[in-house]
Amino acid sequence: MREVRERIRAHEENPLFIHLLSEAELEPYLSALERSEAKNLPLFGIPFAIKDNIDLAGIPTTAACPKYAYVPERSAFVVQRLIEAGAIPVGKSNLDQFATGLVGTRSPYGACRNSIDPEYISGGSSSGSAVSVALEMVSFSLGTDTAGSGRVPAALNAILGLKPTKGWLSTLGVVPACRSLDCVSIFAKEGEEVRMILEVAGVYDESDPYAREERSVAPLALNPKIAVPLKAQREFLGDSEYERLFEEAIERFRALGARVEEVDISPLILAAKLLYEGPWVSERYVAIQEFLENQPEALLEVTRGIIQGGASKSAADYFKAEYRLMECKREAQKRLQGFDFSLLPTIPRPYTIKEVEADPVRLNSHLGHYTNFMNLLDLAAYAIPAGFRQDGIPFGITLFSEPFSESRLIEAGEYFLKGVR
């Protein structure tokens, strides 16, 4: 733990943590491990970070809004599961305020910087969680994912980011963004680590009204069939290197024996636009309505503007969008049926912090082009590294499939990254 704290101190200029546990706050966890046997605890002594919209008992939860802060008596269900398995919570990590953003710059505690090039954004909203793993301050971390927050920062920092099926990991003890869509996400560097953390944390929580029990799905085929978007639908916003790297990722899967087929992904893109252009932004308003109405000045301007926009949506708006979403979902299911998984770039292109600060809303929306539809369409998604631009900025791809297909996606990720089954 001393070494962990030294690694964190070495990057003090990068505001990755909102609260680092002191030696006194760590002591109960270390003492509990001293009284335990490592063979009985699958995560014995493994340090992890917790996004600061997820509760850790006795430590403030801020959601990156100091005036919103409270001290929970109990840890979130998933956090408690990990602690009981021997993992050690190191601190509460920085995030885009109220998990509203994909950039990592929307925090009064400071903008998190990319682990590879500090001029670039870290991605968000789970910014500190992702970068702390990338810089090997912790072995894994928890984030949340509503629109891409567990995948975008994974892509920008060359690590793994799992957005599980909605309801598999309990969201009790998580500050809601869009409660009907929110997922607790996992960041790590190795696929087996992701699998183990999911296994430990993914216990059915009967107290969570959105919880779902795991169901079995078909394993990965020997020569998997993969869906990729039509070439005309591959959006990179002028980044020719990202375009090249995506083509190389497709060819790598082919070389490994996968059968690749182009499909029309227009239903996915239409669904993605519904998340912020439709009424689901009202869930963000409902989540903090009383606080927002009483202390609007406590929020950053960009965050307040987005969330307040949810106050004007009507029930009629919701039902119209819900009907449209169901049409998109049915059409997407038809087009993706028969594939082991589908493949997309995680983001169209990266941005510098200065670029995002100059145009915060539009560039943020660009980052969600390939991510916003996942939770709306009830899909599991797994972001993995897939190369680097010539300037060293990472490129990532996302594998996605039906609910509870995480094991298949993790195996496919290893298939791609290591060329082994």
User: In this predicted structure, what is the pLDDT of residue 276?
Assistant: 86
Q: How confident is the model at residue 103 (pLDDT cuts 50, 70, 90)?
A: very high
Between the alpha carbon of residue 132 and those of residues 1, 47, 199, the distances in Å are 14, 11, 22
Beta bridge partners of 140: 48
Q: Tell me the average pLDDT across 352-359.
A: 98
Which of the residues 51, 92, 163, 166 is marked catalytic?
Answer: 51
Is 314 part of the annotated catalytic residue set?
no
Between the alpha carbon of residue 228 and those of residues 121, 209, 225, 250, 370, the distances in Å are 27, 35, 10, 8, 12
Q: Tell me the average pLDDT across 304-320.
A: 96
419: pLDDT strictly greater than 90: no
User: In this predicted structure, what is the pLDDT of residue 17?
Assistant: 98
Q: Calculate the average pLDDT of the chain.
A: 97
d(Cα 18, Cα 8) in Å, to the nearest integer?
12
Q: Tell me the average pLDDT across 237-246.
A: 98
420: pLDDT strictly greater than 90: no
Q: How confident is the model at residue 18 (pLDDT cuts 50, 70, 90)?
A: very high
**Domain range summary for the chain, segments of one domain joined by +:** 2-201, 225-279+315-418
294: pLDDT strictly greater than 80: yes
23: pLDDT strictly greater than 90: yes
d(Cα 25, Cα 254) in Å, to the nearest integer?
50
277: pLDDT strictly greater than 90: no
421: pLDDT strictly greater than 60: no
Cα 66 from chain centre: 23
Which of the residues 75, 107, 115, 125 is marked catalytic?
Answer: 125
Q: Quote the percentage of the chain above a pLDDT of 70.
A: 100
Q: Tell me the average pLDDT across 295-324.
A: 96
Is 115 part of the annotated catalytic residue set?
no
Note the pLDDT tens digit of each residue in 175-224.
999 999 999 999 999 999 999 999 999 999 999 999 999 999 999 999 99
Are 216 and 249 within 8 A, CB to CB? no
Q: What is the sign of the dihedral through the CA atoms of 332, 333, 334 and 337?
A: positive
Q: How far apart are the first and last CA of the chain?
A: 35
d(Cα 66, Cα 97) in Å, to the nearest integer?
10
Q: Which CATH architecture group holds 225-279+315-418?
A: Alpha-Beta Complex (3.90)
d(Cα 279, Cα 300) in Å, to the nearest integer?
22
d(Cα 90, Cα 15) in Å, to the nearest integer?
15
Q: Comparing C-alpha atoms, which of 156, 47, 149, 23 is closest to residue 94?
A: 149
String of b and e for 210-239 (b: at least 16 CB within 10 Å)? ebeebeeeeebeeebebbbbeeeebbbeeb
Q: How confident is the model at residue 312 (pLDDT cuts 50, 70, 90)?
A: very high
The full length of the chain comes to: 421
Q: Quote the percentage of the chain above a pLDDT of 90.
A: 98
d(Cα 112, Cα 94) in Å, to the nearest integer?
8
Are 337 and 390 within 8 A, CB to CB? no
- What is the topology classification, in CATH, of domain 2-201? Amidase signature (AS) enzymes (3.90.1300)
Query: Helices marked H in 137-239 — which ranges?
Result: 152-156, 191-201
Note the pLDDT tens digit of each residue in 155-170.
999 999 999 999 999 9
Note the pLDDT tens digit of each residue in 384-411.
999 999 999 999 999 999 999 999 999 9
Instruction: Give the CA dihedral 207, 409, 266, 272, nearest 10 degrees.
Output: 40
Q: Comparing C-alpha atoms, which of 373, 399, 370, 351 is closest to residue 161?
A: 399
Note the pLDDT tens digit of each residue in 57-82.
999 999 999 999 999 999 999 999 99
d(Cα 396, Cα 374) in Å, to the nearest integer?
16
Question: What's the per-residue H, E or C state across 255-283?
Answer: HCCCEEEEECCHHHHHHHHHHHHCCCHHH
Is 365 part of the annotated catalytic residue set?
no
Which of the residues 122, 127, 132, 149 is marked catalytic?
Answer: 149
